[in-house]
């Protein structure tokens, strides 16, 4: 292991990079985990309850604290309202802090009220739009009270059949609703606008792609940015290029990481297409190198609902994959890459990326973890802690509060 670490150090030195810089980048990189990833969730076919799965926000936070304990890079937890609604936000904030956590992005729920059959912010009925707006405004208040500065907005709005509604009118209503929301946003708070090309709507979706989200953000103002959920694109979409464009437009708000084989599968990030994840980070690191201001304020978040897998371990595994992708992107020899690019050496440029991607970064991540006093193998550390068995004993199987189907 030590030998391999020295090898990485030597390779980096040849490239003119001090390994300590790479380590410092990895040490300051953090990922937010979602409260909804810790509770029972399922498909529309079945929810298989996991023994000991968190049933309420306090338990979700306790689980998230375990993820933070073994990874050291997940200090914040995203909330979903009303799934995570509590009476006393100060009490829950203090509880999170007691666990060594902070409360993160607030996600309004604009898809699970009966009123939203035909949409929320785009609905033809002003009363429904007002209800949806009021909900987002109350989420802004919650965010303020817990010192969170991110609202993540995902809409299920869309239509199922041609002619069902007027697409331009829906767009006007959407912009109008977003303008009301944006006007209520405190200065330091950001509105991250997520997109998704289909589902639950099947003919049209009101925010179907990054371009539409970007247009909306640009019309709203500088605190509105685009949220890229990696599972929300048609097959074959070049997500790294979307990332590059958003960075260049200074509107990349953040990520919802997850992986997929077919559509919005919400599987463990990096489990199916780790190379794509690496290419995403390659774009970010490239922008960092050029002191792109946007690259320094990206909200890295996970958005996963675990159905058959152990929820806490799935979260840890996702984080390890994301960290690995980032670490590999930090190893890219940028000077050699630029030389190859500018001399038209297509394969040479590709091979520079490939060399970084193929590097075994486990010794590097081990070094980072050991310096932080962590076990080099966070999954093993979690397994040997006995926490999973303890909560399986203590938490009776039952209904969780909020979450995806049946949860
Ligand atoms: C639904 O597709 C979704 O997975 C979106 O990605 C949201 O971010 C998430 O649910 C939470 O509402
Ligand atoms: Mn998402
Ligand atoms: Mn999704």
| Number of the ligand 1 atom closest to the C-alpha atom of 227 | 8
**Mean pLDDT value across residues 162-171:** 98
Weakest-pLDDT range from 51-55, 261-265, 394-398: 394-398
**Mean pLDDT value across residues 19-45:** 96
Residue 58 pLDDT exceeds 90: yes
**Mean pLDDT value across residues 305-315:** 96
User: Sheet harboring 150-153: ordered strands across?
Assistant: 33-34, 76-81, 102-108, 150-153, 190-194, 224-229, 252-257, 299-302
Q: Residue 254: how many CA atoms within 13 Å on its side-chain side?
A: 28
**Mean pLDDT value across residues 209-227:** 98
Q: Please report which confidence band the pLDDT of residue 357 belongs to, taking 50, 70 and 90 as the band edges.
A: very high
- The CA distances from residue 297 to 30, 217, 251, 292, in Å, are 11, 16, 10, 10
Q: Please report which confidence band the pLDDT of residue 403 belongs to, taking 50, 70 and 90 as the band edges.
A: confident
Q: What count of other Cβ atoms lies within 10 Å of the Cβ of residue 82? A: 15
Residue 242: phi and psi, rounded to 5, are: -60, -45
Distance from Cα 382 to the centre of ligand 1, integer Å: 27
Pocket residues: Cβ below 6 A from ligand 1 = 80, 107, 154, 194, 196, 229, 256, 264, 303
Q: Please report which confidence band the pLDDT of residue 3 belongs to, taking 50, 70 and 90 as the band edges.
A: confident
Residue 406 pLDDT exceeds 70: no
Q: Whose CA is nearest to atom 4 of ligand 1?
A: 303
CA-to-CA distance for 167 and 311, rounded, in angstroms? 39
CA-to-CA distance for 228 and 288, rounded, in angstroms? 18
Q: Whose CA is nearest to atom 7 of ligand 1?
A: 154
CA-to-CA distance for 248 and 242, rounded, in angstroms? 10
Distance from Cα 194 to the centre of ligand 3, integer Å: 9
Which single residue is written with the structure tokens 């965010």? 143
**Mean pLDDT value across residues 21-32:** 98
What b-and-e string marks burial along 219-246, b requiring 16 or more CB atoms within 10 Å of the CB? ebeebbbbbbbbbbbeeeeebbebbbbb
Predicted pLDDT at 1: 74
Q: What count of other Cβ atoms lies within 10 Å of the Cβ of residue 200? A: 11
Ligand lying nearest the CA atom of residue 199: 1
Residue 204 pLDDT exceeds 50: yes
Distance from Cα 231 to the centre of ligand 1, integer Å: 10
Predicted pLDDT at 87: 98
Task: Return the percentage of the chain with pLDDT > 70, whole number.
Answer: 98
Domain limits of the chain? 29-324
Distance from Cα 163 to the centre of ligand 1, integer Å: 26
Quick one: angle between helices 311-330 and 57-71, nearest 10? Answer: 40
pLDDT in tens, 238-269: 999 999 999 999 999 999 999 999 999 999 99
Distance from Cα 231 to the centre of ligand 3, integer Å: 6
Residue 171 pLDDT exceeds 50: yes
Predicted pLDDT at 398: 57
Q: Please report which confidence band the pLDDT of residue 405 belongs to, taking 50, 70 and 90 as the band edges.
A: low
Residue 407 pLDDT exceeds 50: no
pLDDT in tens, 274-284: 999 999 999 99
Weakest-pLDDT range from 1-5, 135-139, 283-287: 1-5
CA-to-CA distance for 180 and 174, rounded, in angstroms? 10
Residue 78 pLDDT exceeds 90: yes
54 DSSP assignment: B
* CATH 3.20.20.150 for domain 29-324: yes
Residue 148 pLDDT exceeds 50: yes
| DSSP class per residue in 135-197 | HHHHHHHHHHHTT--EEEE----EESSTTSS-HHHHHHHHHHHHHHHHHT--TT-EEEEE--S
**Mean pLDDT value across residues 379-400:** 90
Residue 400 pLDDT exceeds 70: no
Cα 142 off chain centre by? 20
Predicted pLDDT at 324: 98
């Amino acid at each position: 292991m030590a030998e391999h670490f020295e090898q990485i150090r030597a390779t980096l030195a040849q490239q003119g990079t001090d390994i300590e810089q790479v380590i410092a980048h990895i040490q300051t990189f953090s990922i937010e985990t979602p409260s909804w990833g810790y509770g029972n969730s399922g498909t529309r076919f079945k929810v298989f309850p996991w023994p000991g799965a968190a049933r309420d926000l306090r338990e979700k936070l306790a689980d998230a604290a375990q993820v933070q304990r073994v990874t050291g890079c997940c200090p914040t937890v995203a909330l979903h309202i009303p799934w995570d609604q509590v009476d006393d936000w100060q009490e829950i904030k203090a509880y999170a802090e007691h666990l060594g956590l902070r409360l993160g992005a607030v996600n309004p729920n604009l898809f699970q009220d009966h009123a939203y059959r035909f949409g929320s912010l785009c609905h033809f009925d002003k009363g429904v739009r007002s209800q949806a707006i009021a909900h987002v405004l109350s989420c802004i208040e919650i965010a303020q009270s817990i010192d969170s500065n991110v609202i993540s907005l995902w809409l299920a709005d869309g239509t199922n059949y041609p002619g069902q509604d007027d697409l331009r009118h829906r767009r006007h209503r959407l912009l109008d609703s977003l303008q009301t929301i944006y006007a209520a946003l405190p200065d330091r708070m950001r509105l991250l606008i997520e997109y998704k090309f289909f589902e639950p709507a099947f003919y049209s979706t009101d925010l179907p792609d990054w371009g539409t989200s970007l247009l909306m953000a640009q019309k709203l103002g500088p605190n509105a940015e685009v949220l890229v959920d990696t599972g929300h694109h048609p097959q074959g979409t070049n997500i790294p290029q979307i990332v590059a464009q958003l960075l260049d437009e200074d509107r990349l708000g953040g990520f919802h990481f997850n992986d997929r084989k077919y559509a919005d599968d919400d599987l463990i990030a990096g489990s199916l297409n780790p190379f794509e994840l690496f290419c995403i980070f390659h774009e970010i690191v490239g922008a960092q190198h050029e002191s792109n201001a946007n690259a320094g304020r990206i909200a890295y978040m996970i958005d996963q609902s675990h159905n058959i897998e152990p929820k806490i371990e799935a979260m840890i595994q996702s984080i390890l994959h994301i960290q690995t992708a980032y670490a590999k992107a930090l190893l890219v020899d940028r000077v050699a890459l630029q030389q190859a690019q500018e001399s038209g050496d297509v394969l040479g440029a590709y091979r520079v990326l490939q060399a970084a991607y193929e590097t075994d970064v486990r010794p590097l991540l081990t070094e980072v973890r050991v310096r932080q006093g962590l076990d080099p193998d966070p999954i093993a550390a979690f397994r040997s802690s006995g926490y999973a068995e303890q909560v399986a004993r203590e938490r009776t199987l039952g209904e969780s509060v909020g979450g995806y189907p049946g949860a």
